[in-house]
């Protein structure tokens, strides 16, 4: 029997980031005092500084950006979910450096007239890269504001001439256990490879982007390098990382969290404060970086993007299609 590890309710993780940061400066201090280097498995602030020297991207601004203050680069790159590198929030920042992100192509196939391989270099140079500052709401009831660099998914799919009868897009993450330790962990946390899906109108919506960067630079590995999906009105787990395949399909594609816990995670996964997770409330959220004494924020329908996306779900019972 496979045993899956579910995300834990918010109360159990309130101090995890603070602990992580304290542990970091503690270890850095120790290294300085003893003259030894910090343990190699451990990402110190020098590693973050290195990331900051990453390739700069030329971006244009977007009218879709929120005016809320973005989280710090450190928040966005050290508090992550990327189970291929461990189930803890600091695991991706510590472990994802093992991932090779070049060469990298996405297979685009299924119900398209013009299937092909999309090279990451083409994605970075042949498309307009927009800065999109989006709210990001995780199912575990925390949130951030993230300045992504992305390309509307619709612009990319257009190149492949999607057939009229296609109804969904199925996405797949890289399967490479040699570089992704979580994929060979004895405690199987999720079925691999990680998969996700969108209905066609969701995929073609102008808010849906393929993100190739954040804070004006190429994506750090822990955030899903070199290319990941971002769907700002859905829980974070819909935003699949390190994508290697996009397939147009007639049938609703499987999704990893739904396979792991069908009672807890549906296909749609729209942010909806009136539909609680079976084990915790979705009414409020904790903004990362706001401090442990900050007031929780009320979660907004569709994560605040209702004006743009509510019409996609008209006539659907969102308690049934959660
Ligand atoms: N391949 C893959 N994609 C993934 C995940 C994952 O474990 N593997 N976690 C998801 C979850 S649960 C969340 S909240 C977001 C987190 O994105 P971030 O770390 O960039 O904030 O990535 C999503 N995409
Ligand atoms: Mo998540």
Output the DSSP codes for 47-94: HHHHHTTSPB---EE-TT---SPPPPHHHHHHS---GGG-SSTTHHHH
Largest CA distance in the chain: 65
Q: How far is the CA of 42 from the centre of ligand 2 (A)?
A: 23
* CA-79 nearest atom, ligand 1: 19
Mean pLDDT of 37-61: 63
Q: Give the C-alpha separation, 116 to 124, whole Å.
A: 17
- What digits encode the pLDDT tens for the residues 14-27? 333 334 344 344 33
Q: How far is the CA of 35 from the centre of ligand 1 (A)?
A: 36
The reply to whether ligand 1 has any atom less than 6 angstroms from the CB of 236 is yes
Per the model's pLDDT, the better-predicted residue between 288 and 41 turns out to be 288
- What digits encode the pLDDT tens for the residues 307-316? 999 999 999 9
Cβ neighbour number for residue 226 with a 10 Å cutoff: 23
Whole-model pTM: value is: 0.87
Atom 19 of ligand 1 has which residue's CA nearest to it? 80
Q: Give the C-alpha separation, 302 to 159, whole Å.
A: 29
User: Minimum-distance ligand to the CA of 194?
Assistant: 1
* CA-174 nearest atom, ligand 1: 1
Tokens of 74: 């450190």
3-state SS, residue 140:
coil
Looking at every residue in the chain, the average pLDDT score rounds to 88
* CA-224 nearest atom, ligand 1: 20
Mean pLDDT of 278-307: 96
What count of Cα atoms within 13 Å lies in the side-chain half-sphere of residue 276? 7
Mean pLDDT of 227-248: 98
Q: How far is the CA of 222 from the centre of ligand 1 (A)?
A: 9
What residue ranges define each of the domains in the chain, with the CATH number in brackets?
11-313 (3.90.420.10)
Tell me which of 137-151, 184-198, 208-222 is least confident: 184-198
Tokens of 126: 């042949």
Q: Give the C-alpha separation, 224 to 64, whole Å.
A: 22
User: Minimum-distance ligand to the CA of 190?
Assistant: 1
The pLDDT, as a whole number, for residue 53 is: 66
């Amino acid at each position: 029997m496979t045993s899956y590890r579910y995300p834990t309710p918010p109360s159990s993780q309130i101090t995890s980031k603070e602990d992580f940061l304290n542990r970091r400066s503690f270890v850095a201090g120790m290294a300085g005092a003893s003259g030894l280097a910090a343990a190699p498995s451990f990402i110190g602030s020098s590693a973050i500084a290195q990331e900051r020297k990453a390739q700069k991207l030329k971006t244009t601004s977007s009218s879709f950006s929120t005016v809320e203050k973005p989280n710090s680069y450190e928040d966005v790159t050290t508090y992550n979910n990327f189970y291929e590198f461990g189930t803890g929030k600091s695991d991706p920042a510590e472990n994802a450096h093992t991932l090779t992100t070049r060469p990298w192509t996405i297979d685009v196939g299924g119900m398209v007239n013009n299937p092909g391989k999309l090279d990451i270099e083409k994605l970075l140079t042949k498309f307009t890269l927009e800065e999109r500052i989006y709210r990001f709401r995780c199912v575990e009831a925390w949130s951030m504001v993230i300045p992504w660099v992305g390309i509307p998914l619709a612009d990319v799919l257009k190149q492949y001439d999607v057939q009229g009868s296609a109804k969904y897009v199925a996405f797949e993450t890289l399967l490479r256990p040699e570089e992704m330790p979580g994929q060979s962990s004895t405690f199987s946390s999720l079925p691999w490879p990680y998969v996700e899906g969108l209905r066609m109108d969701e995929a073609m919506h102008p808010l849906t982007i393929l993100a190739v960067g954040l804070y004006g630079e190429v994506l750090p590995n822990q955030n899903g390098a070199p290319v990941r999906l971002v769907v700002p009105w859905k829980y974070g787990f819909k935003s699949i990382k390190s994508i290697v395949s996009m397939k147009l399909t007639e049938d609703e594609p499987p999704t990893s969290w739904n396979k792991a816990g069908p009672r807890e995670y549906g296909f749609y996964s729209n942010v909806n404060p009136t539909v609680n997770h079976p084990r915790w409330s979705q009414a409020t959220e904790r903004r990362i970086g706001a401090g442990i004494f900050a007031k929780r924020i009320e979660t907004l329908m569709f994560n605040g993007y209702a004006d743009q996306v509510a019409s996609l779900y008209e006539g659907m019972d969102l308690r049934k299609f959660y």
